Structure 1
Amino acid sequence: MNDKQKTITVIDTFGFLFRSFYALPPLKSKTGFPTGLLTGFMNFISNIGKDFQTDYIVFALDSPGETFRNELYEEYKAHRQEVPQDLLTQLPIAISWIEKMGFKTAAKVGFEADDIVASIAHDAREKGLMVRIVSHDKDLYQLIDDDTIFLFDPIKKDVINEDKCVNKYGIKPKQFTDYQALIGDSADNIPGVRGVGAKTAEALLQTYETLDNIYANLEDIEKPRWKKLLEEGKEMAYLSKQLVTLKTDSHSIDILQEFELPKENPILKIEDILLEYDMNRIIDRVHQNGLNYKTTVPKQQSKEQYNYVLIQEKHKLLDIVRGIEDDSIVAFDTETTDLDTQKASIVGFSFAFDEKSAYYVPIAHNYLGVTDQITLEEAKEALEILNTHKLVLQNFKYDYQIIKNNFNIELKLYADTMILAWLLNTQEKVGLDFLADKYFHHKMVAFTDTVKKGENFSSVELEKACEYAAEDALFTFKIYHELLKEFKNKSCEHLLDVAQKVEFDFIYVLSEMESNGIKVDVNLLEKIKEENKLQLQALTTKIYEQAETEFNINSTKQLGVILFENLNLPTGKKTKTGYSTNEAVLTKLYDEHAIIPLLLEYREAYKLQSTYIEPLLELGLKNEQHRIHTSFLQTGTATGRLSSKNPNLQNIPVKSEAGRQIRHAFIAKEGNRLIGIDYSQIELRLLAHFSQDEALVEAFQKGLDIHMQTAIKIFGEEEAKEKRNIAKSINFGLLYGMGSKKLGETLGIPAKEAKVYIDSYFKAFSSVKEYLKSVEEYALEHGFVETLLERRRIFDFGSAAPMQKAMYLREAVNTKFQGSAADLIKLSMNKIYHKYKNNSDVKMLLQIHDELIFEVTSSKAQQIAEELKEIMVHVYELNIPLDVSVSIAKSWGELK
């Protein structure tokens, strides 16, 4: 090794951490938290300079999501073994420590850590550096170059060079991708050449040197079996080579100073955190001996002190709330007995009106020895005063319902930090813990550390409750002001107007809908349950007949054996966890055996039973009026559409008869009817509005059937009627970024034919293609796309791989239309809420994407339906008319 040549050490981080986990015994902290992986990691850090000398260091990381390899081969890494929970628990902690210690990480969406390692190694060699790769993973052997690049096994303290590779595998590093292409890799589900093992591959490569040369000399191979296997497996061999060959262009190390070893002692920078995990020995060792390379001791960051005040006397509470200056911002939060507002009772509330202090008011703590608390009447008096100020809350909807249900007070919202954070970036987390860490690097007190398992907040001691609750209020206050700065810094203060005029108003609408609930016919659900149960039994019998044996149909392991061993259906390689029997696998085998259609039907019936029928029946029976109350998530999607949970009422299937029957079980209460109002072709109308395409605009302005008009334009008058459905698929497909391949699959025609249809469409509606392209170009230039009301969805094109970038562009187009449709629905719901909020004849119950469902007094149903329609078609003036379809019925299933 040249003494003057500088070295960069590249860590295969996940590979190293996995190995650390298995190399050490299952260590635990005093609280029972697993620490084996973390200990192995910190031992490695403390030995830098002892085990090896280096000038630069970087930790290569995987990125979430699929890579280009999944696009090449769907089954890539499809059957990986489940990772032990203790490993999963420690992994993100170790990753978070890397940057906290001052080390540099490297990752890129669409690429694996191995690609990052390969790219940095390639770039470092170009810059004249020696490269040490900390890993023993055979996938990285292909990078070994004795002059400049070698592997280092940190457990065995062993250097892996070209000689070690030859001794172990009988081949040189530069032959390694060809070797893997032949033998495959069961761990990553890389197929290789079926029947070719390590010894055969070694012999072939020793004779012919490369994969290309093997296939160029196939006729000379003496063993007939080898020749036959190679002929049959050629396609898989070359696919496997693509899969195992690492990319060398996914990362560079242009500013080398960034990768220098930290100047301050990295272990002491996280001393407090290590003590939390009882990793005292490592800290003691560092304090005694320092590190094996020169560092300075980091300056101790003084923890900011906050004043959390417990209020137990009425006069003190009233003095404080009366002393708050008029027009003040006041952050507010409640503590309760349950997450379900329908069941929850208030336990206490907290508030803050400056950045240093917060107050907790206990009301209903209940444990032996609890001291004085504030009564409900006293709390109500204080709440009425607080409600005169500018209230800022995190997830206002929850606290609004709690205060309304417990005190009959309707809180007035000034701002919701959760909604504001979501408007800033609809794809980032919006929880209080995340925001406190993001803006202040502050770790909030965990609920699980405050409330014992099986108990609720009422059992928490007052002092401990005060620390937890007051912190929530204080950081809501601090985060609010930080969010205001970010809106200004990102030049998107118009989103504050969207929040005030639309989103905050919308919270009251959702709260009302959740409170209203929707009635279910429990008798019909019981009947559906029994019928579906009989269907499942009948399918089970038929499946057993086809399998010629009984087995657990819900066990993928047992099913895999039946399908691929007993019935000998075609499959990929078997892994340690068994065969894949997911829907995609079964669909491919649909025509191979009569058991497959039965299995798919069984799975659908089983899902209906377990996911919808039984849970809905249980919820309906629990409620005296048989009403089900879902929870709507305003920040649940990136486009702005609503989602719902507990239960999810937006995904009840309609394709199967049983699924349609479930919708018939949602009914109006006695003396009422349901009204369903659905925006007609809303996204296509928005396309016409945005694109200004003359043909589209004219069709909508004249009230013509848009799918028929599209069919006429593409196929001509004579064929239009029979090809209307194809036109419909094209109309909607383009809004979702559908290309010719996907359209071909949807219509069951060749991609070439589908491309002709798409080209004909763009010729007929000439401005549309140009407009869709402009949406993509805007997104690329600005990094976001805006909806009708200028809500934003951000895309990280900078770090996106080509596949990810293409997906972002499709999502940008989709968001423009789906997000704008969500805007219109919200505007309509807000307007309808204000018109009918004190009218007992009208209840808004559900929003299912472009459809609204109401429960109204039967005698006024027709009149109210007309009024609702009027609001919805005139809620926003587009340059083409909005239209809705309206239906009135006794059940959801009957609404057309």
Structure 2
Amino acid sequence: MPKLTLIDGSSYLYRAFHALPPLSNAKGEPTGALFGVVNMLRSTLKDKPDYVAFVSDASGPTFRNVLYDKYKANRPPMPDELRAQIEPMLAIVGALGFPILRVSGVEADDVIGTLATQAHAHGIDVLISTGDKDLAQLVRPGIKLINTMTNTTMDSAAVVDKFGVKPSQIIDFLSLTGDTVDNVPGVTKCGPKTAAKWLAEYGTLDGVIAHADKIGGKIGEYLREALPSLPLSRELVTIKTDVPLDLTVQQLMLHDRDTTALRDLFARYEFKAALKELENAATDVAEQPLSPATEKPIVEPTRIDTSAPSVELNAPGHYELVTTQEQFDQWLSRLHDAPLIAFDTETTSLDSMQADIVGVSLSVQPGYACYIPLGHDYPGAPAQLPRDKVLAALKPLFEDPKRPKVGQHAKYDMNILSHYGIVVQGLKHDTMLESYVWNATATRHDMDSLAKKYLGYDTIKYEEVAGKGAKQISFSQVDLDTACRYAAEDADVTLRLHHALWPLLEGEPKLRKVYEDIEIPLVPVLASMEQRGVLIDVNELRMQSQQLGKRMHELQQEAYKSAGRDFNLDSPKQLQAILFDELGLPAKLKTPTGQPSTNEEALEAIADDHALPRLILEYRGLAKLRSTYTEKLAEIVNPRTGRVHTSYHQGAVATGRISSNDPNLQNIPVRTEEGRRIRQAFIAPKDWLVLAADYSQIELRIMAHLSGDEGLLRAFHEGGDIHRATAAEVFGLEPEAVTSNQRRAAKAINFGLMYGMSAFGLARQLGVDRGEASDYMARYFSRYPGVHAFMEATRERAHRDGYVETLFGRRLYLENLTSRNQALRAGAERAAVNAPMQGTAADIIKRAMITLAAWQKDHDDKAHMLMQVHDELVFEVRADAVDEVREAIRERMSGAAELRVPLVVDVGVGKNWDEAH
């Protein structure tokens, strides 16, 4: 088991000061406590713990002083000789490599209690080095105390032997006895034996209080007199275990000692034996006894750098290949007792709707995991446990919502298990989402990337066990030993990643809320949508594909005519020669190699100069529709379900948006007739209809809410045409007098400002000169000053904090805000303004999906949520339940957030997706 040693630095210092003679250096500087502390650390260094921390009290009052102003009021002031040794002690401790923690507002005991509790939950053994009796309340299996002065260890049995009560009763025990040194009231004349006797009889402090009238004699009177103060006493002696910390247990690694700093410190303090050891390059400071030293150094204490969380995983774990019933039964027992189960599946395909399961890996303790092969079928493969029998035994565990589980991109594994009748419940954590919510842009969120960043560990890559390219084999063909190392590592690393990432989120309440209230509940919702899929009219797609092909042929002939000769429209090189060499059109954009570009932006830039660029753009658009949708969708209909199944990704877009791929259902064009026609192929089953519910101008409404601009708020509350209302404000007209061009300009401003559009960009979009566009924007901001103030404040906040937030607390970090590259910096500022709107819109629709999924559970015979496309949700609805379902959906989507303006939802119904708009 990995081990964490927590050193009670404050206890060390006081004990060393009072236990040792008053040593001093030649100049008369006190060194006795310093000498004692360094010697006590030798035992810790000899034990070589995996993790270690030296925890000391910070200066200033703590929360207990707020609770009770007389707390520790009886303590005499710290002797000057002791105070003078604190900073030198911290300097030496830090130079020896010990991480040092000092947290304001709490005591060292509270920091120790928090770290001990976290480590224990992570399967790490804890040894607390202290002489403080209060810390006995933390003792349990896996957490012990050690007194280095007496070299005695205290486990649960030793606590009972010493105090006469169990560790779980120590808080109540201390509440009754009180503490004269700390000025904890307690019960007058109640000593340890009396407190132990009462707790043995009545179990708890509450039990003693409830029976106070039955306790006779003077001690009974004292007890009854103390009743009003006992709850305070209990609060004062209770060690906090939830102190917010900017680091994880796994960051508490013993640093390399600073030999140079130690040499200077030991020389100044005249720790001669230790100095000699350094000079002789001895292997460990702890191997030589130290002698008292002289001279006080002026050195700042070493602190842990918590700015970049990282955890080291030094070696692979202990992995078990489970192929016998006895082994499997042992793991079932472990799973039943586990506080958290990490799980992963190995399969025959990355497509979760087509894949078959090959094996399951599990971990309940960091460093330990198993792999249960179920479908390895290579020649000579050893016997494996029957797949159906194993999954049947695991089914109650996976489906128990009270058994917390953690996965890495767990939605995939949930989809796999659904093929075998297992509906995973109780998904408490997903390490992909923990990383995504913590910092969406810090890294990719796949396991290999996360392990490297947060564990400092290189995982086994799939190509290393299955090969790559044409020679890659299915995982079912990988030998069991190799498969075990790879698969069990996945479960183990998942658990370790959780232990590294979860404490980070716990320390940020807003991010934790985004994670727990939005992202985690959304996982089963998306899994259900993926499993359901959407019905496709294959014949309709084939007909559209033929029509697109016919139109592409026509465009090809027109392009030949426009160019004056035949050429390959799909060849950038041939197109480049015709456009720029033969036709002499201006090359307004260049490739990275300096050649004239023929990409979409380059062709748009010269589309007004000649007919050919426009023809090529139309040809490419149709070719993309044909290859991506009308032909591909028909080919990927799942033979098991007769439907098309997309994959939704929560961790791909920094703003929080859900993305879709294989196929990407969010990229079907809606501005062209051909693009809209593709939606006609998305249909509902017989006696069902397609319902599309779309948030109306949601980002503009969020802008109104966040900016608080009175004009924008009024326009939305009046419920008219927001773009017409904006045009009326900008141009000083009555709404009915606004022209179509003026409305178009206002619409461009409304949406363009959210994306940081400049006057130059607006001028290009409207086809006006830059001065006119600038006038439009100036008039807009004069009529909506709140919007301008919000944008400026957002930019300032982004520069100050390095990130912006959505309404619900999701963060978007913007690294390029400090870039020397002006274009990158400007882009980051545009993103800073837009991200709160786009991210809040993403959060709102996610909240709506979670609420609708809960409603759908009781109405599964009437409606199924099928697709999420930007600000739109698509359902299939039973034809005779449309009215009921329409209102239920509208109500829940409108209620997904409380804004200062109405959340309007447009709902349409039809035989296909296009008709539903």
Q: Quick check: TM above 0.5?
A: yes
Partner deviation per Cα, 1:124-145 (whole Å, 9 max, x = no partner)? xxxxxxxxxxxxxxxxxxxxxx
Within the candidate set 625, 640, 646, 1:630 is matched to: 646
For residues 313 and 649 of structure 2, what CA distance do their matches in structure 1 show?
Answer: 39
User: One-letter code of the match for 1:486?
Assistant: L
Residue 768 of structure 2 aligns to which amino acid in structure 1? Answer: I
Give the whole-Å Cα distance in 2 for the aligned partners of 1:801 and 1:313: 61
After TM superposition, list the pairs within 5 Å mapping 1:599-748 onto structure 2.
599-620=616-637, 623=639, 626-717=642-733, 719-722=737-740, 723-748=742-767
Partner of 1:429: 444
Specify the code of the residue in structure 1 equivalent to 2:575.
Answer: L
- 1:857 partnered with 2:868: no
Structure 1 or 2, whichever has the larger Rg, is 2
Equivalent pairs, count: 599
Equivalent residue for 2:869? 848
- CA shift at 1:834, angstroms? 0.5
Which residue of structure 2 aligns with residue 756 of structure 1? 775
Tell me if the contact between 1:520 and 1:628 (Cα under 8 Å) persists in the aligned partners. Answer: yes
Q: Cα–Cα, structure 1 residues 325 and 535, in superposed 2: closer, same or farther, change >3 Å?
A: closer
* Residue of structure 1 aligned with 2:896, choices 856, 866, 875: 875
What is the aligned counterpart of 1:397 among 411, 418, 421?
411
Structure 2 residue aligned with 1:597? 614
Shift of 1:842: 0.4
* CA deviation vs aligned residue, 1:607-627 (integer Å, no higher than 9, x gap): 22222221112224x547642
Find the residue that maps to 1:855 and give its secondary structure: strand
Shift of residue 315, structure 1, vs aligned partner: 2.1
Quickly say closer, same or farther: Cα 1:565–1:713, change in 2 above 3 A: closer
Give the 3 Å change call, closer, same or farther, for CA 578–774 of structure 1 in structure 2: closer
Aligned to 1:380: 392
What's the CA shift for 1:585? Answer: 2.7
The 2-side partners of 1:429 and 1:585 are apart by 31
Give the one of 323, 326, 336 matched to 2:347.
336
Q: Which amino acid aligns with 1:308?
A: Y
Question: Against the structure 1 CA distance between its residues 760 and 510, is the aligned structure 2 distance closer, same or farther, given a 3 Å change threshold?
Answer: same
Within 5 Å, give how 1:535-614 maps onto structure 2. 535-571=551-587, 579-614=596-631
Distance 1:310 1:432, change over 3 A: same
Within-5 A mapping of 1:181-580: 304-324=315-335, 326=337, 328-375=339-386, 376-385=388-397, 388=400, 389-427=403-441, 428-452=443-467, 453-487=471-505, 491-571=507-587, 579-580=596-597
Answer whether contact 2:510 2:808 (CA < 8 A) is retained. no
CA distance in 1, matches of 2:914, 2:318: 56
SS at match of 1:323: helix
Tell me: CA distance 1:514–1:759, structure 2 relative to 1, closer, same or farther (3 Å).
Answer: same
**Kindly tell me: are residues 881 and 386 of structure 1, through their superposed partners in 2, closer, same or farther at Cα, counting changes over 3 Å?**
closer
Residues 802 and 578 of structure 1: CA distance in aligned 2, closer, same or farther (over 3 Å):
closer
User: 1:591 corresponds to which letter in structure 2?
Assistant: D
What's the CA shift string for 1:834-887, capped at 9, x where partnerless?
Answer: 011241210111111111111000111122101111111122222222111111
**Which residue in 2 is equivalent to 1:105?**
none
Q: Is the Cα contact below 8 Å between 1:380 and 1:407 reproduced in 2?
A: no
Distance 1:377 1:575 in 2: 58
Partner of 1:55: none
Query: In structure 2, how many angstroms separate the alpha carbons of the residues matched to 1:865 and 1:392?
Result: 36
Other-structure match for 2:842: 822
Q: In structure 2, give the amino acid aligned to 1:643.
A: S
Paired residues of 2:376 and 2:476 also in contact (CA < 8 A):
yes
Provide the rounded CA distance (Å) in 2 between the counterparts of 1:800 and 1:546: 45
| Structure 1 equivalent of residue 190 of structure 2 | none
- Residue 416 of structure 1: CA displacement? 0.2
Name the CA distance, whole Å, in 2 between partners of 1:469 and 1:708: 59
C-alpha distance in 2, partners of 1:435/1:400? 21
1:280 alignment counterpart: none
Return the TM-score normalized by structure 2: 0.63
Counterpart contact for 1:556–1:579, Cα < 8 Å = no
Distance 1:310 1:668, change over 3 A: same
CA contact (8 A) 1:418 1:431 kept: yes
- Identity rate of aligned residues, in percent? 37
Partner of 1:221: none
Q: Which amino acid aligns with 2:367?
A: K
Deviations 1:621-667 (A, max 9, x none): x5476421111111120111111000001011122221121111111
In 2, are the aligned partners of 1:314 and 1:378 still within 8 Å (CA)?
no
Q: Deviations over 1:400-449 (max 9, x none)?
A: 11112124342420100000100011122111001111122211111011
SS at match of 1:636: coil
In the aligned structure 2, how far is the partner of 1:355 from the partner of 1:579?
Answer: 56
- Looking at structure 2, the residues matched to 526 and 805 of structure 1 have their Cα atoms a distance apart, in angstroms, of 47
Q: Does the C-alpha gap of structure 1 residues 701 and 394 become closer, same or farther in structure 2, counting only changes over 3 Å?
A: same
Cα distance 1:312–1:626, how it changes in 2: closer, same or farther (>3 A)? closer
Alignment of 1:39-78 (within 5 A): none
Which residue number corresponds to residue 814 of structure 2? Answer: 795
Q: Secondary structure at 2:653's aligned position in 1? A: coil
Q: Deviations over 1:548-570 (max 9, x none)?
A: 33222111112222333333434
Distance 1:888 1:335, change over 3 A: same
Distance in 2, Cα, partners of 1:882 & 1:853: 18
CA distance in 1, matches of 2:861, 2:456: 48
CA distance in 1 between counterparts of 2:490 and 2:812 reads 28
CA contact (8 A) 1:321 1:386 kept: no
For 2:315 and 2:602, the matched residues in 1 are separated by 56
- Partner of 1:893, secondary structure, is coil
Gaps of 5+ in 1: 1-262, 265-295
* 1:833 pairs with 2:853: yes
**Aligned-residue offset at 1:329:** 1.8
3-state SS, counterpart of residue 419 of structure 2: helix
Report the residue type matching 2:404 in the other structure. Answer: K
Q: Secondary structure at the match of 1:499?
A: helix
Alpha-carbon distance in 1 for matches of 2:677, 2:352: 30
Structure 1 position 884 matched with structure 2 position 870:
no
8 A Cα contact 2:314 2:457, kept in partner: no
Equivalent position amino acid for 2:883 in 1: Q
Letter in 1 for 2:632: P
- Equivalent-residue separation in structure 1 for 2:783 and 2:408 (angstroms): 49
- CA positional deviation for 1:586: 2.3
Give 1:305 shift. Answer: 4.5
Cα offset for 1:465?
0.3
